[in-house]
């Protein structure tokens, strides 16, 4: 019997890539995002059984509806991919409005928390008990970019959510993974200004290399297919600059190779 996964933010970028990869791997995929037309385009590219549920995952009532429709359609849930996210404003910290910070936290953190709550309820009650949650973190949870405080704050919070829910879910056969993704050419990359080069700590703009999104999709499929007695708390996937001798450059910072 095919397993069931919910992918949020599935209308574009990493969400779309991962949803299609999971579908091609035989998963029943439930897609969610605010943009209905784009969401349906993703669904058309998924060869396996697919359910599209458009809506806003920052809305608690919609989140309940999303999970209720999933159970009504497929009868169970095996994996949740908390992928929905926004980059937020790129400007000096002192110029950031509270409303801008709140928006980033609502999409990147609160929505993931709400979806995690509903997934926990299902995972605890279904037979066999358990399931897996994958949270889309970021290299910014370790190495922030200049002028991106709201995004970095939100992704550090996602790390806390990952660790806390992994601990709380252990006795219920629930395991949680955070995937921290480097430069992939998606809509979010465009919003970060990668077209003109990425802002570095020294004020320069440098064109940074990208990895093929296919590798991210393949990684999500691998994590989703792991048995629940295998934990993968955190995984980083990024471009490595091979030309340097003792360090590699990631997101514009020189990081020792031993980190990887």
Per-residue pLDDT of 58-92, as tens digits, reads 999 999 999 999 999 999 999 999 999 999 998 99
Q: Which residue has the higher pLDDT, 242 or 84?
A: 84
In this prediction, residues 235-243 reach a mean pLDDT of 79
Q: What is the pLDDT of residue 140?
A: 87
Pairing state between β 131-136 and 174-181:
parallel
This model's pTM is above 0.85: yes
Rounded Cα distance, 25 and 96, in Å: 42
SS3 label, residue 253: strand
Res. 245 pLDDT band, cuts 50 70 90: very low
Match 């037309």 to its residue by tokens: 37
Burial of 149 (0-12, 13-18, 19+ CB in 10 A): buried
Q: What is the distance between the alpha carbons of residues 50 and 162, in angstroms, rounded to a whole number?
A: 27
What pLDDT digit, counting tens, does each position of 125-143 carry? 999 999 999 999 988 888 8
Of 200 and 242, the structure prediction assigns the larger pLDDT to 200
The torsion defined by the Cα of 111, 59, 26 and 2, in degrees rounded to 10, comes to: 110
Whole-number Å distance between alpha carbons of 230 and 225: 10
Q: At the topology level of CATH, where does 4-259 sit? A: Rossmann fold (3.40.50)
Query: Is residue 30 within 8 Å of 72, Cβ to Cβ?
Result: no
Please determine, for residue 246, whether its predicted confidence score (pLDDT) is greater than 80: no
Mean pLDDT of the chain: 89
The DSSP 8-state label assigned to residue 175 in this structure reads: E
- Catalytic option among 151, 172, 253, 260: 151
Q: Give the pLDDT confidence score for residue 119 in this predicted structure.
A: 98
**pLDDT given for residue 197 in this prediction:** 73
Q: Is the pLDDT of residue 191 over 70?
A: no
Share of the chain above pLDDT 70, in %: 88
What is the predicted pLDDT for the residue at 251? 42
User: What would the pLDDT profile of 157-178 be if each residue is shown by its tens digit?
Assistant: 999 999 999 999 999 999 999 9
Decide if 151 is catalytic: yes
């Amino acid at each position: 019997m095919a397993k069931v996964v919910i992918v949020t933010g599935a209308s574009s970028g990493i969400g779309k890539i991962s949803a299609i990869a999971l579908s091609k791997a035989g998963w029943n995929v439930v897609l969610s995002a605010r943009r209905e037309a784009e969401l349906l385009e993703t669904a058309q590219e998924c060869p396996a059984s697919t359910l599209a549920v458009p809506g806003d995952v920052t809305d608690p009532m919609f989140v309940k509806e999303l999970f209720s429709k999933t159970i009504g359609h497929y009868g169970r849930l095996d994996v949740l991919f908390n992928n929905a996210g926004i980059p937020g404003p790129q400007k000096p910290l002192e110029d950031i409005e509270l409303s801008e910070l709140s928006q980033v936290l609502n999409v990147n953190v609160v929505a993931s928390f709400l979806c995690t709550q509903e997934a926990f309820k299902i995972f605890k009650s279904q037979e066999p008990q358990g399931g897996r949650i994958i949270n889309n973190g970021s290299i910014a949870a370790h190495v922030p970019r200049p002028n991106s405080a709201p995004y970095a704050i939100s992704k550090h919070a996602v790390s806390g959510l990952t660790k806390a829910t992994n601990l709380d879910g252990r006795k219920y056969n629930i395991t949680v993974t955070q995937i921290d993704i480097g430069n992939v050419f998606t809509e979010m990359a465009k919003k970060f200004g990668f077209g003109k080069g990425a802002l570095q700590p020294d004020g320069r703009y440098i064109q940074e290399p990208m990895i093929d999104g296919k590798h991210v999709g393949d990684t999500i499929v691998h994590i989703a297919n792991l048995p629940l007695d295998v934990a993968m708390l955190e995984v980083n996937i990024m471009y490595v600059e091979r030309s340097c001798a003792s360090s590699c450059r990631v997101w514009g910072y020189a990081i020792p190779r031993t980190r990887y």
